[in-house]
């Protein structure tokens, strides 16, 4: 077990290095440097050139790369061009919002997908299964942003049940007030987002149950006289649900890349929205830090997935 985890960690190191190099390259492709924001009609061109020299912007790229990586280890992600605050603190505020939205989405995703998958698998080809298949087809076929737009149009604008933007009301006070307001703002995006993410899990669970139903060990259990309910819950379900757990990592990864669209539609102040704002304001230090963060979180999601899978399914462990 530990061997697999260790091996998986070792694979991650070169991936992380290449990822950081790529992001650095991307950052160098972006116009401007940390002093571009300071240039104004009164600034002295020679002073800026001196600052550039002093901060090592004329050094060869590998020196700059090493310094950049070094700074990052100290938690220094640079200074935002536009907002003139450290990028790390800027991202932190938004990351908290994205974290809560993602957490609620993951909880909803699994609590919607697992009963649906079980019902579809248990009642294969009956009406429950057919209804779930239709639902699954819709959530798979409709592009996410169209789904969100239709959702916000129906529930927020037309019915007025939910707010159309933000994360917490300005006049919310007290612990419960803030929590309630937060939930109220998150619930619609989280539900819509969760419905879109359920597709794979439902499909996977259904296929797992359908396949396991005809396995030899199930037939053996039945012929020994084990009651049908026990056969389903102890034998079939356990073997089908476990692989779903491993999807958690993929779900996290998926949520990150989707956060941009959902946060844009709901004007939710999370990391995805920050990314889009930074791009339109040409705030390149923030952008670079965010891409690196997205990349690292994706790596982490994959790591979690693989480790969970090796816990759940002993066959893929390294001997």
Partner 1 sequence: MSNKKKSTQTKQDQTQVSLPPSGFKVAVREIWRDKIALTAFIVICLILLLTFGGSLFLKKSQVTEINIAEAYYGWGQAGHIFGTDDGGRDIFKLLIMGGRNSILIGLSVTAIDETLGLLIGLIAGYFGGTVDAVIMRIVDFVQILPQFPIIIVLTTVIPNYNAFVLVGLMSMFYWTTTARLFRSFVLSQRGRDYVLASKTSGSSDWKIMFREVLPNITSMLIIDVVLTVAGNIGIETSLSFLGYGLPITTPSLGTLISFANDPANVVARPWLWVPATVLLLLISMNINYVGRALQRAGDARQREN
- Contact positions toward partner 1, by CB under 8 A? 15, 18-19, 22, 26, 29-31, 137-138, 140-146, 149-150, 152-153, 157-158, 164-165, 256-257, 260-261, 264-265, 275-276, 279-280, 282, 287, 290-291, 294-295, 298-299, 302
Least Å distance, CB 31 to partner 1, is 7
What is the rounded distance in angstroms from the CA atom of residue 225 to the CA atom of residue 240? 22
What is the rounded distance in angstroms from the CA atom of residue 82 to the CA atom of residue 202? 44
Least Å distance, CB 213 to partner 1, is 15
CB of 167 or CB of 302, closer to partner 1? 302
CB of 131 or CB of 276, closer to partner 1? 276
CB of 167 or CB of 298, closer to partner 1? 298
Least Å distance, CB 149 to partner 1, is 5
CB of 119 or CB of 302, closer to partner 1? 302
The structure tokens listed for 21 are: 């190099």
Work out the widest C-alpha separation in the chain, in whole angstroms: 89
**Residue 167's closest CA among 187, 184, 185?**
185
CA-CA distances (angstroms) from residue 21 to 32, 36, 61, 147, 286? 19, 23, 11, 36, 17
Angle between helices 238-245 and 87-122 (to 10 degrees): 160
Least Å distance, CB 42 to partner 1, is 29
Least Å distance, CB 314 to partner 1, is 22
CB of 237 or CB of 298, closer to partner 1? 298
What is the rounded distance in angstroms from the CA atom of residue 317 to the CA atom of residue 284? 42
Helices (H), 237-283: 238-245, 247-265, 271-280
Least Å distance, CB 83 to partner 1, is 19
CB of 88 or CB of 291, closer to partner 1? 291
CB of 19 or CB of 132, closer to partner 1? 19
CA-CA distances (angstroms) from residue 94 to 67, 163, 233, 255, 270? 26, 19, 42, 15, 4
CB of 110 or CB of 270, closer to partner 1? 270
CB of 18 or CB of 230, closer to partner 1? 18
Least Å distance, CB 157 to partner 1, is 5
Least Å distance, CB 196 to partner 1, is 11
CA-CA distances (angstroms) from residue 144 to 15, 181, 262? 29, 25, 8
**Nearest 10 degrees: CA dihedral of 237, 240, 242, 245?**
-110
The structure tokens listed for 252 are: 């996290």
**Residue 203's closest CA among 120, 147, 108, 105?**
120
Least Å distance, CB 105 to partner 1, is 17
Report the Cα 27 to chain-centroid distance in Å: 23
What is the rounded distance in angstroms from the CA atom of residue 229 to the CA atom of residue 275? 50
């Amino acid at each position: 077990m530990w061997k697999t985890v260790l091996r998986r960690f070792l694979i991650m190191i070169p991936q992380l290095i290449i990822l950081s190099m790529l992001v650095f390259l991307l950052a160098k492709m972006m116009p401007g440097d940390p002093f571009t924001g300071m240039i104004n009609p009164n600034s002295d061109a020679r002073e800026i050139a001196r600052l550039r020299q002093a901060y090592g912007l004329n050094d060869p790229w590998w020196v700059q790369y090493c310094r950049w990586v070094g700074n990052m280890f100290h938690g220094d992600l640079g200074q935002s061009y536009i907002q003139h605050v450290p990028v790390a603190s800027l991202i932190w505020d938004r990351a908290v919002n994205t974290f809560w939205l993602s957490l609620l989405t993951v909880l909803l995703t699994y609590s919607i997908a697992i009963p649906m998958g079980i019902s579809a698998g248990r009642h294969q080809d009956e009406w429950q299964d057919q209804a779930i298949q239709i639902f699954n087809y819709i959530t798979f076929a409709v592009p996410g942003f169209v789904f969100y737009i239709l959702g916000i149009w129906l529930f927020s604008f037309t019915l007025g049940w939910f707010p159309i933007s933000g994360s917490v009301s300005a006049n919310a006070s007290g612990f419960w007030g803030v929590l309630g307001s937060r939930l109220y703002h998150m619930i619609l995006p989280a539900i819509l987002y969760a419905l879109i993410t359920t597709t794979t899990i439902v499909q996977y669970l259904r296929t797992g149950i359908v396949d396991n139903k005809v396995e030899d060990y199930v037939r053996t259990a039945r012929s020994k006289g084990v009651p049908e309910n026990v056969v389903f819950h102890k034998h079939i379900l356990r073997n089908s649900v476990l692989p779903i757990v491993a999807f958690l990592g993929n779900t996290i990864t998926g949520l990150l890349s989707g956060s941009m669209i959902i946060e844009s539609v709901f004007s939710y102040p999370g990391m995805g929205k920050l990314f889009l704002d930074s791009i339109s304001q040409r705030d390149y230090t923030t952008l670079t830090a965010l891409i690196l963060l997205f990349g690292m979180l994706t790596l982490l999601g994959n790591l979690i997935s693989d480790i969970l899978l090796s816990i759940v399914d002993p066959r893929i462990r390294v001997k």
